[in-house]
Chain A
Amino acid sequence: MTTTIEAPRSPYSRSTKKSGVNWEKWGWIYMRVSGVVLVVLIFGHLFVNLMIGEGVSALNFAFVAGKLTNPFWMVWDVIMLWLALIHGGNGMRTLVNDYATTRTSRGILKVAILVSVVSLIVLGTLVVFTFDPCPAGAPADLVASFCTSL
């Protein structure tokens, strides 16, 4: 019986399979591409909501209604939602891989991240596309001015 002994000091190889998608590489690329887009989207979001006019003290339902009835801001917010949650979720996955020491804890934490990201993407997307700026029975002083002029 002969046993093949690997040559000593041969370099460690992570995996012998050469086919298939390299997901870590695409994750790495995604962080950089989405990061550049998010700098533009989030800086614009912060500028419009916190710098223009009276900033944070002007925010209310009517302000959001004005934005979420404008297709430009609907598309802006939905792209920002998807890119930011996946970017953040993938970043958290990196931290879990670095700091969670057991296979079980890594599994639990990564499932929790996945569930949070998927459910908030679904929730946020539904909110943007099913938003009603003039809900029936809402007080006129709380909704946008265009609700009463209809």
Chain B
Amino acid sequence: MPQTAGTLDSQQKTTSRRPAGTLYRGNTGMWSWVLHRITGVAIFFFLLVHILDTALVRVSPEAYNAVIAQYQTPIMGLGEVALVGAIVFHAFNGLRIILIDFWNAKYQRVLFYVVIGLWVVTMLGFVPRHLINVFSH
């Protein structure tokens, strides 16, 4: 049907309860973008804390060991799983963004599933070994 001036066809489509397929909304493009932002903010705030706690090596061995012991508790051990999960997603999805920018945007959806697949494989390699290190000491 040809578009006629004065109608709100396209707007009505995108504001209906089930929006038509746009590049981002409700799709892999949107969720990868949302996750990239959330993981990025989380990693940034961890980085601020992590530089401060590492700087304690300049204060005294006792001060550094007291703080690093907190990273070795079971609760923080689970937090490290979340942190590494966020970093691995942000890393692989960042490489996906670079491929979209410099290679070909039409593969963005399949690349998102590649990111998820690589994330699962990486976490399967990391999580069991890390949890053994946390809970067996």
Query: Hey, which bits of chain A sit against chain B, CB under 8 A?
Result: 32, 35-36, 38-39, 42-43, 46, 50-51, 54-62, 64-65, 68, 81, 84-85, 88-89, 91-92, 95, 116, 120, 123-124, 126-127, 130-132, 135, 138-139, 142-143
Are the C-beta atoms of A123 and B55 separated by less than 8 Å? yes
| Residues in A whose Cβ lies below 8 Å from that of B112 | none
Are the C-beta atoms of A127 and B41 separated by less than 8 Å? no
A contact face: mostly helix, strand, loop, or mixed: helix
| Residues in B whose Cβ lies below 8 Å from that of A127 | 54-55, 57-58
Are the C-beta atoms of A56 and B130 separated by less than 8 Å? yes
Total cross-chain contacts (CB, 8 A): 110
| Residues in B whose Cβ lies below 8 Å from that of A61 | 57, 61, 64-65, 68
- State in angstroms the CA–CA spacing of A62 and B134 once bound together: 19
Are the C-beta atoms of A32 and B87 separated by less than 8 Å? no
Q: Identify 9 residue pairs between A and B in the complex whose beta-carbon atoms are under 8 Å apart, listed by A's number.
A: A35-B91, A35-B95, A39-B95, A50-B133, A61-B64, A89-B44, A123-B51, A142-B61, A142-B65
